[in-house]
Amino acid sequence: MKLVKDFNAYQILDMSEGMKLESWNGHELLRPDPQIIWNHKEHEEYWSKVDAIYNRSNKGGGSWNIKNHKLPNVWQIHYRDLTFNIKLMGFKHTGLFPEQAYNWNMIRDKIKKSNRQLKVLNLFAYTGAASVAALAAGAEVVHVDSSRGMVDWAKENVASSNLQDRPIRFLVDDCLKFVNREIRRGNKYDIILMDPPSFGRGSNGEVWDIEKDLYPLVEACMEILSDDPVLFLINSYTTGLSKTVLENILELTINKKHKGYIVSDEIGLPMKNSNIILPCGIFARWEKDKYEEDI
pLDDT, one tens digit per residue, over 154-163 is 999 999 999 9
Higher pLDDT, 273 or 74: 74
**Terminal CA-to-CA distance of the chain, rounded, Å?**
15
Q: What is the pLDDT of residue 204?
A: 77
Mean pLDDT of the chain: 95
Q: What is the pLDDT of residue 248?
A: 98
What's the whole-number mean pLDDT along residues 264-270?
Answer: 97
Q: What is the pLDDT of residue 59?
A: 76
- Looking at the predicted structure, is the pLDDT value of residue 254 above 90? yes
- Looking at the predicted structure, is the pLDDT value of residue 57 above 90? no
* Exposed/middle/buried for residue 256 (C-beta within 10 Å: 0-12, 13-18, 19+): exposed
pLDDT in tens, 67-96: 999 999 999 999 999 999 999 998 899 999
Q: What is the pLDDT of residue 295?
A: 54
The mean-pLDDT minimum among 15-29, 45-59, 138-152, 212-226 falls in 45-59
Q: What percent of the chain has pLDDT over 70?
A: 99
The confidence band for 152, taking pLDDT boundaries of 50, 70 and 90, is: very high
pLDDT in tens, 166-190: 999 999 999 999 999 999 999 999 9
